[in-house]
Structure 1
Amino acid sequence: MICGIPLGGYIRNRRLSLDGAEIKSSNAKIINIAFKYGYETPESFPGAFSRFHNILPMMARHDGEIKTFARITIKSILEGMDRLQLRFFESI
């Protein structure tokens, strides 16, 4: 939510980005790549892939442009602790 996209959407887009990169860089069967990235049926993968990349998986392998969806890293920094709080955390 902080990044403006629901968690499920982030996971789906990130997965489609990774499988697109693997299709471009390897000679593995496209169906095996689809299973690797969590698609349970062969029919569901081409539709999801083409909606995200605007190209079919086989076309992407040969000469198509694929989209990338960057990895999001979230860091949390805790500031403003006084000595009493610090000692509490050190004892845990």
Structure 2
Amino acid sequence: MCSMKSRAVSLAAQLAALTGDEVRVDEAASHVRVTCAVPPHLAERSRRLLLIALAGADRYGHDATAQGAHIWAEIAADGEQLDADTQALKGS
């Protein structure tokens, strides 16, 4: 099984390649959060590939504001449990 850090590095590289934007990676004891902007004119194929990449995270989401859209993903530390809301969303 991949470690939290290696999963985050892989996800960050995928998001950077798909968006062409800088990716932010923030580490905490319980998880790593990966965030990046989503270009407004991203091709449909790239959008689909972004969803596939995000599905590999333990939690993910999308924030849209007047300043633009961002996606984020969290990867839990090895052995960490997802909270009840996240488990329900993933169908566990």
TM-score scaled to structure 1, two decimals?
Answer: 0.29
Comparing both structures, which one devotes a greater share of its residues to helix? 1
Q: Which has the higher strand share?
A: 2
| Alignment TM-score, normalising by the size of structure 2 | 0.29
